[in-house]
Amino acid sequence: MSEKVPSVLRNRIMSLPKEQLGALSEGENITIKTFPVPNPGPKEVLIQNVAVASNPKDWKNPYWYPQKSTIEGNDIAGYVVAVGEGVTGFKVGERVAALTKFDTLGNLYGAYAQYSIAPESTTFRIPESVAFEEASTIPLAYMTAALGLFKDLQLPEKSTESGQQPGIILNGASTSVGAYVIQLAKEAGLFVIGTAGSSKEYAKSLGADVVIDYREHKDDDFISALVAAAEDHPVSHVFDAVSENGSTIPLSQVLLKTSPNGKGKITVVLPINEEEIKRAPEGISISRTWVRTAQQENEAFASRYYARASGWLQPHARSPLRPNRVKLLPSGLESVRSGLELLQNGKVHAEKLVYRISETPGIIVAPRQ
């Protein structure tokens, strides 16, 4: 049942502003500018953002494509203020989080703005017990985890194997994506072997069965430590949430020793070079998880898994979903540039950078009743 819409919000719905503020990325420069408030198309919802979160892609895209001017970001949480034609799953006034489209054409879909459009299929309700700041950490990282586990690695959503519990190796267990991989893998009945550094206790608190500190194990010792951690659990799958500096090379060597038949699958979240792929041993395949497929061929899967997230966020859920830890930056959209610089310089660990839109200088938000 949808919650009652505050009267002040109802009034704003009837007369949405024509313009809004947004953070425009032009290469490495980010400026706050005025943009039209977009109208949702068929099967889309318009969301008034309360909190938005950053992902590494938000600094990489402008860096790689400096000639483009875009509103970046994909993680939003707020109120539905308008729905497009054919939308049946959401009503005006509902509290939601959403994964916006990756196509930023016309600056309709980016997160770093007062209002954003999102597909109905990648929008989900959030209960009042979950803060908007927490909810904004979920959409992209959670869906990357779900797609990687159950589409790219093709693991069963619930293990039915008899005998020894199957395992999975998770490289980058304390990353935003890794935090959700742990929770989804445990829900699926897997034995989770993670790697982390200073945030290893955080990964353990999320349910990882074993966490190997990569700072204490180098080269062959790192491989041996992961093999030993598997114990008697058959491990044929790796989720590489780091995907940098040739990380798949030692991980593929681990699978040769932990897989019952010497075959295995690795999924990565970043592009890796052809030479690294060629170095994978025979029988070990490497694929990339593309979260944008949640709005393409995996749309039905995404809709179902966001609905599950909504259920797991309920106060008395059997398997509660823990959002990423929040690092709130001040001054709303004005801090997006400094936040992306923190990500680019590797200064963010085991937490998600979040911005409250209402704290942006020049934005006036009407009080709620």
β-pair partners for 237:
265
Residue span of the structural domain in which 171 resides: 142-289
For residue 127, is it within any domain? yes
Is 239 in contact with 168 (CB distance < 8 Å)? yes
For 61-120, the pLDDT digits (tens) are 888 888 888 999 999 999 999 999 999 999 999 999 999 999 766 777 899 999 999 999
Q: Same structural domain for residues 162 and 284?
A: yes
**49: helix, coil or strand?**
strand
Residues 118 and 26 in one domain: yes
Give dist(CA 32, CA 360) in Å, integer: 10
**CATH number of the domain enclosing 79:** 3.90.180.10
Is there a single domain that holds both residue 49 and residue 99?
Answer: yes
Closest CA to 239 of 184, 199, 294: 184
Kindly state whether residues 187 and 313 are assigned to the same domain. Answer: no
Q: State residue 105's pLDDT score.
A: 66
Is residue 367 assigned to a domain? no
Give the per-residue pLDDT at 107. Answer: 74
Asked if pLDDT for residue 12 goes beyond 50, the answer is: no
Q: Is residue 217 located within the same domain as residue 305?
A: no
Q: Are 251 and 229 in contact (CB under 8 A)?
A: no
Q: Is residue 33 part of a domain?
A: yes
Task: Tell how strand 326-329 and strand 352-356 pair up.
Answer: parallel
What does the pLDDT read at residue 366? 57
- Are both 148 and 285 inside the same structural domain? yes
Q: Kindly report the CATH number assigned to the domain that includes residue 219.
A: 3.40.50.720
Predicted confidence at residue 3, as pLDDT, reads 43
Shared domain check, 300 and 284? no
**Tally of structural domains, the chain:** 2
My answer on whether 132 and 177 are in the same domain is no
Q: Are residues 241 and 319 in the same domain?
A: no
Edge-to-edge strand list for the sheet holding 29-36: 29-36, 19-26, 69-71
Residue where a domain stops, chosen among 231, 255, 289: 289
Q: Are residues 200 and 118 in the same domain?
A: no
Choose one of 227, 261, 289: the last residue of a domain. 289
Q: Is residue 369 part of a domain?
A: no
Q: Answer yes or no: is 365 within a domain.
A: no
The verdict on 147 and 285 lying in the same domain is yes
Does residue 364 sit within a domain?
Answer: no
Q: DSSP 3-state helix, strand, coil percentages of the chain (rounded to 5)? A: 35, 25, 45
**Are 296 and 336 within one domain?**
yes
Nearest to 99 by CA among 122, 73, 125: 122
Q: Is residue 342 part of a domain?
A: yes
Task: Write down the pLDDT at residue 363.
Answer: 86
Mean pLDDT, residues 230-245 taken together: 97
Specify if 368 maps to a domain.
no
Q: In the chain, which residue ranges form alpha helices assigned H by DSSP?
A: 7-14, 57-64, 132-135, 139-147, 176-187, 200-205, 220-230, 248-258, 274-278, 299-312, 336-344
Residue at 57: amino acid letter:
K
- The mean pLDDT value for 357-362 works out to 95
Which own/partner contact pairs does 182-185 have at CB distance under 8 Å and 24+ positions apart? 182/206, 182/207, 182/208, 183/145, 183/207, 183/319, 183/321, 183/322, 184/145, 184/146, 184/149, 185/149, 185/155, 185/239
Among candidate residues 230, 257, 289, the one where a domain is terminated: 289
Query: Mind giving me the DSSP string for 34-45?
Result: EEEPP---TTEE
